[in-house]
A and B are shown apart, each in its own frame.
Chain A
Amino acid sequence: MDLTRDRLREAYRTMRRIRHFEEKLAALVAGGRLGGFLHLYVGEEAVAAGVCAHLSDRDMVASTHRGHGHCIAKGVDVGGMMAELFGRATGTCKGKGGSMHIADMDRGMLGANGIVGAGIPLTVGAALTAKLKRTGGVAIAFFGDGASNQGQFHESLNMASNWKLPAVFVVENNGWGEFTPTRFVVPVADIAERARSYAMRSAIADGMDFFDVYEKAGEAIAVARAGRGPTLLECKTYRFQGHFVGDPLAYRPKEEAEEWKQRRDPLDLFERRCREAGLLEPDELRSIDGEVAAEIEAAVAAAEAAPLPDPSEVTTDVYAS
């Protein structure tokens, strides 16, 4: 797929939306206006944007507890997401899912997930459906370095490879599995190496560089769509904030985080690259910044004004029939 100006603007809008949305949530929690467990995607925007730029509604995406970025990149309505976080009846999940379970089947978003690694087998299933029903779609699993230690990760890659499923397994290696550095619990230098055990194709991308992610993801998705099997795509990235909102981050050296934020912010890198290559003008980007800010302010206002769910909803939707 070519990166046209429109696509570039869209990509930037997606990343800015994610950044602004997540930082807004942090402020709302600090101000006591939001509750629940929130896990923010700040710093990893290029991965979601770079992969999802290749996808449409017929492609399926499964995510993690840190799923807002994937939801936004997959086209889930920001207003609905904000209302869901405020627990309103107008939320994407009618207020019944919350941050870790936001989903939109119409957009092909199979949900954020509160269980580490659980989205990976779901992706295998979605890929199986795509293959058996010949939809032409692909299924993408986003998960972290920590999840690559889960049994279900290994079982899923094994099955996807056996059945040559149209799937891409995107491991966002942000250097930290909750409070533990990745290098303490993963013995291989690159998680992408694990694909070899399953005779699976793999690739490594610079997760802070939208363009690198876009290119590597594009290749993997094309291979999958062509029926030539799955890929394990490792994106090296960094989690700018704590594991969850409220995490005091005592376990992580401040200098390390500062280094990444100053030198490797994906939005800065994207802007610089666009400027240097003459792809987009700064005022275009500023104008998108303004639109995104307004959009999210409006989403917050609408969410706070929206009705709360009726208590009768506690026992609805338990069964389909």
Chain B
Amino acid sequence: MPRTLPTALAINEALHIAMQSDPDVILLGEDVAGGGARDAQGVDEAGGIMGVTRGLVKAFPDRVLDTPISEMGLLGAAVGAALTGLRPVVELMFMDFIGVCLDPLLNQAAKLRYMFGGKARVPLTVRTVVGAGMQAAAQHSQSLYWITAGIPGLKTVIPSNAGDAKGLLLAAIRDDSPVIFCEPKGILFQAGEVPEGDYEVPLGRAAVAREGSDVSLVGFGATVRLALEAADLLAAEGTSAEVLDLRSLAPLDEEAVLATLAKTGRLVVVDEATPRCGIASDVAALCVDRGFDFLNAPVRRVTAPHAPVPFSRVLEQAYMPSAQKVVDAVRGMG
């Protein structure tokens, strides 16, 4: 009987394994230990906004540090620590907050190695929550991975299920480059098969979640589940859809995208983020640039609309991509 865990616990397990196997791994962030719990005995600490880091400060008392609400200072300190020999894992509570700490990522972490002629490394991991669906409204629901995916020097990854979350995070922590590890709200509390023990999912490699022959549905994070649902709906109508889980946004597994396009000739990208300058557009451009002769129909992008995330449940549901929207996109592409 394979073991299933919610994604949040799979991430917790990865952190535990990482810290166990490497004394240089430290956790930093707001409430990652849980506030006052460090001083209180027997009080179950919060373990982060989503409870992902619960239990870790007990296991590693000196290496899980609560920080003030100072994203810029905290990310900058994490960069400095990474530069000088530690392997910090920082929690940026919501990726929406990247606005107040973009410089340490954009101009420091991403560039120090390059600017120093290769004579430095910043083995930093930033864990951050993305996506809508919890009625957290406009400033706590964005999917801003396209910002970091476009910055040379940073890597950006996003699991779609609990098993990949554990393996991808272990690989991210052990990677010597700065990695942004995105945790989609849509999967954090979903259970999935999680192998025991220490294993890694390689960065930069997509995975075929479902084989098909008539159309390719490219998704990542929470949209892989939507794509799989859409594939079921399409199968009932006689269309065989292949689902590709990108897993890694930067580096992007371009060969996997081109391979599925070559196979089916028709491609839809499903992306939770807003439409301009994003991952969906990037993948579409790749198809046209390097996969032109495979295209049998236009590349379709199913994304959120060009608007902030609304609060009201009915509005938020209309905002988010859905399996039906994917099916409609496939039907309309000819």
- Indicate which residue in A113, A159, A318 contacts B77 across the interface (CB closer than 8 Å): A159
B81 & A103 in contact (Cβ 8 Å cutoff): no
Residue of B nearest to A84 (CB): B117
B108 & A155 in contact (Cβ 8 Å cutoff): no
A319 & B153 in contact (Cβ 8 Å cutoff): yes
B77 & A125 in contact (Cβ 8 Å cutoff): yes
A155 & B70 in contact (Cβ 8 Å cutoff): yes
B68 & A126 in contact (Cβ 8 Å cutoff): no
Chain A residues with CB below 8 A from B63, complex form: 132
A319 to B251, alpha carbons, bound, how many Å? 10
- Indicate which residue in B24, B67, B74, B114 contacts A318 across the interface (CB closer than 8 Å): B114
Residue of A nearest to B116 (CB): A103
Q: Which of A10-18, A32-40, A93-101, A236-244 contacts its partner?
A: A93-101
- Indicate which residue in A92, A93, A128, A158 contacts B80 across the interface (CB closer than 8 Å): A128
CB distance from B205 to the nearest CB of A (A): 14
A122 & B115 in contact (Cβ 8 Å cutoff): no
Residue of B nearest to A110 (CB): B83
Judged by a CB distance under 8 angstroms, whether B107 is at the interface is yes
Residue of B nearest to A320 (CB): B176
Contact with B along A232-250 (1 / 0, CB 8 A): 0000000000000000000
- Indicate which residue in B24, B82, B152, B175 contacts A125 across the interface (CB closer than 8 Å): B82
A124 to B175, alpha carbons, bound, how many Å? 23
A45 to B249, alpha carbons, bound, how many Å? 47
Residue of B nearest to A122 (CB): B80
A156 & B76 in contact (Cβ 8 Å cutoff): yes
CB distance from A148 to the nearest CB of B (A): 14
Judged by a CB distance under 8 angstroms, whether B79 is at the interface is yes
Judged by a CB distance under 8 angstroms, whether A277 is at the interface is no
Q: Count of chain A residues with Cβ under 8 Å from any Cβ of B?
A: 50
Chain A residues with CB below 8 A from B153, complex form: 318-319
Using a CB-CB cutoff of 8 Å, which residues 99-126 of chain A contact chain B?
101, 103-106, 110-111, 113-115, 118, 120-126
A111 & B116 in contact (Cβ 8 Å cutoff): yes
A159 to B176, alpha carbons, bound, how many Å? 25
15 examples of A-B residue contacts, CB within 8 angstroms: A96-B114, A97-B117, A98-B115, A103-B120, A115-B107, A115-B108, A118-B76, A120-B73, A124-B73, A139-B84, A151-B72, A319-B153, A320-B122, A320-B177, A321-B177
Chain A residues with CB below 8 A from B82, complex form: 125
Interface centre among B67, B72, B114, B123 (most CB of A within 10 A): B114
Assess A94 versus B118: contact at CB under 8 Å? Given A162-B68, A319-B153, A321-B176: yes
B70 & A159 in contact (Cβ 8 Å cutoff): yes
A162 to B79, alpha carbons, bound, how many Å? 18
- Indicate which residue in B70, B115, B175 contacts A101 across the interface (CB closer than 8 Å): B115
A155 & B117 in contact (Cβ 8 Å cutoff): no
Assess A317 versus B113: contact at CB under 8 Å? Given A121-B73, A129-B86, A156-B77: yes
Residues of chain B having any CB pair with chain A under 8 Å: 24, 26, 62-63, 65, 67-68, 70, 72-86, 88, 103-104, 107-108, 111-123, 152-153, 155, 175-177
A320 to B113, alpha carbons, bound, how many Å? 8
Chain A residues with CB below 8 A from B24, complex form: 133
Residue of B nearest to A135 (CB): B85
A97 to B112, alpha carbons, bound, how many Å? 9
Judged by a CB distance under 8 angstroms, whether A46 is at the interface is no
- Indicate which residue in B81, B116, B176 contacts A97 across the interface (CB closer than 8 Å): B116
Chain A residues with CB below 8 A from B70, complex form: 155, 158-159
Interchain residue pairs A-B with the least CB separation, the first 3: A125-B80, A121-B76, A155-B73
A163 to B104, alpha carbons, bound, how many Å? 20
CB distance from A61 to the nearest CB of B (A): 11
- Indicate which residue in B62, B68, B117, B177 contacts A132 across the interface (CB closer than 8 Å): B62
CB distance from A181 to the nearest CB of B (A): 26
Interface centre among B78, B107, B115 (most CB of A within 10 A): B115
